Amino acid sequence: MASLSEKATADTPPNGNNSTPNMSNVERGYAGEGRDSDVELQRLRSRSPAPSELSGTADHDDESLPHHQQHSRARDFYNDALSREKLFWDRLRGKGKRHVGWVESGKNALFSSWVNVFVVAIPIAWVAHFLPGTFSHEATFALCFLAIVPLEAMFDWGGEQMSIYLGQTLGDLLVITLNNAVEAALAIILLIHCELRLLQSTIVGVIILHLLLIPGTAFLAGGARVWEQTLHPHNTQLNHSLLTIGVLSLLLPTAFFAALDRGPVAFNAEGEASFENSPLVNDFTRGEMLKMSRGFAFILGVVYIGSRIYLANPPGDDNALEVLPDVPAAIKQAEEELKEDEPEMNPLACALLLGVTVALTAVTAEFLVESIEFVREQSGIQEEWFGLILLPIVSFSADGMVALVFFVQSTIMHILGKKILIPSILARARAIDLSIQFTLWWMPFLVVLGWMIGSPMILLFDFFELAILLGACFLVNYITADSKTNWVEGLILVSFYAMIATSAWFYVGQPELEVMLTCPGTVAAAILSEAAGAGGEGGGEGAVEAVLGHH
């Protein structure tokens, strides 16, 4: 995937401690010698330590220092903070970089990728939506699907351009967020439309796509001509923990629900499960699940924010938004490349481009969701497969098309005996970060948003979907445990994704969950409607009594 992140090559994680600064390790600022920002930051890094820093004692009690030394340390800290803030804003404004005009910025954005030719599908998709008789529902869905491809590619390119102005740490966070923008827009619109069952399947589909298919494809393609690629061991270990707690947050409500007494299971004349007399499937149980899910949402949000703070400002002095001296060499090299790269777009134009792209994506995703029901009914595709596989593929379509063309081009060049670009020994695995953000940030956000708009989004997931997540988490953590990957491990990830897609094609979903996710309306009303359809008015009255008897 073109937007997957670079991970480092060292075998030891950064310890976050601040050793005595070394100028060879802390050159920051902008490319080129003699620039004011470099001189200023080198001055900060090379300033003489305060007496308390040289004392070597464990306790550094400012109150024990003379009054003038306390003022000196406070003044140094204040000046450092001001200088760092100035450096950040200078970099964001593009100081020291080549000025890119508005016309040149627009031209570079338009020709940034060949997939931008599909931008013509955007107005056609809008016409198909507003003039239903012009195109069929299948054609409208296909056009909206195709229109999102160049928008996804624009997120990637715009995010990489902003990384030049923001630096590696904030740039990575922005790129990850933008790469999740399409999926987040789809999820929010599904929530607003009360498509909760499809929403849950899509959430699981997005996570396994970013855990299995995208990194698997990257490892498979990147490792095809090198013995092995390496990952940043420190980030990999942290990702294991974050990914695990995200999956466990879904395991607890599902296990809680599975452990409760279901009572006798009844079946109607069609052989389908009936919940008329169920002591479990009712509004009371859903209310308890909602309370649990909303509490989990806030906890997961705190975990994600804490992890971003830790990565952006690790323990130690003067570490905020800095590449630490003892990190792997590839991390330093990536930051140096960002400082030396010349932007193809000015920062204001880039921000405007991303804002417009977000708006276009939201509207097009809205049209896509509105056409889903017709396509699903006429195609006969199971809802589970629709959410697990088809909708998440939208986010991979742009990068997948680029990767496919590159693969074909490389194959042809190899057959013709021409020189082929040898991939880096540095593995690119930002997709795993995408899964973590979607699990720890966007999923809790959807729970809270559903609370605000009255959609009962709960973290009670389908047993089959939960098993998929646990398996994907286990496999990814096991493969990346040694911080090294190769093409065979990439093949394993892709193969497991293919197994999931195959099994999901035949899966019809968990009946209990479909009733528990009734929206709009109550569980009691859903059971009443089901019973009325199966057994007439008498069955409906019995269903109401059975449900309300538990309140």
Chunked in runs of 10, what are the mean pLDDT values of the chain (551 residues)?
A: 38 40 35 42 46 44 54 59 66 75 90 88 92 84 88 87 82 85 89 92 92 82 59 68 92 90 62 66 90 96 91 69 60 66 86 92 87 78 87 72 63 64 45 87 95 93 94 89 80 93 91 86 80 52 38 37
- Structure-block tokens of residue 165: 């102005």
| The pLDDT of residue 32 | 37
Number of structural domains, the chain? Answer: 1
For 179, residues 6+ apart whose C-beta sits below 8 A from its C-beta are: 3, 155, 156, 159, 395, 430, 434
- Supply the DSSP string of 67-98, one letter for each residue: HHHHHHHHHHHHHHHHHHHHHHHHHHTTTTSP
Integer Cα distance of 298 and 310 in angstroms? 18
Residues spanned by the domain of 160: 94-315+341-530
| 284 falls within a domain | yes
Tell whether 428 is covered by a domain. Answer: yes
The 3-state secondary structure of 401-464 reads HHHHHHHHHHHHHHHCCCCCCCCCCECECHHHHHHHHHHHHHHHHHHHHHHHHCCCCCCCCCHH
The answer to whether 440 and 300 are in contact (CB under 8 A) is yes
Q: Report if residue 161 sits inside a domain.
A: yes
> Hey, how many other C-beta atoms are within 10 angstroms of the C-beta on 373?
13
Query: For residue 369, how far is the Cα from the chain centroid?
Result: 20
The span from the CA of 219 to the CA of 426, in Å, is 10
The answer to the question of residue 134 being in a domain is yes
Q: What is the pLDDT of residue 240?
A: 83
How many distinct helices (H) and strands (E) make up the chain? 23, 4
Residue 327 inside a domain? The answer is no
Full-model pTM: 0.74
Secondary structure (3-state) at 528: helix
227 SS3 class? coil
Amino acid at 496: F
pLDDT of amino acid 40: 47
Domain-embedded: residue 544: no
User: Do the domain assignments include residue 539?
Assistant: no
Which tokens sit at 34? 């003699």
pLDDT the model gives residue 418? 64
410 touches 404 (CB < 8 A): no
- Contact indicator for 430, 4 with CB cutoff of 8 Å: yes
Query: 3-state class of 132 per DSSP?
Result: coil
pLDDT, residue 544, reads 37
240 within a domain of the structure (yes/no): yes
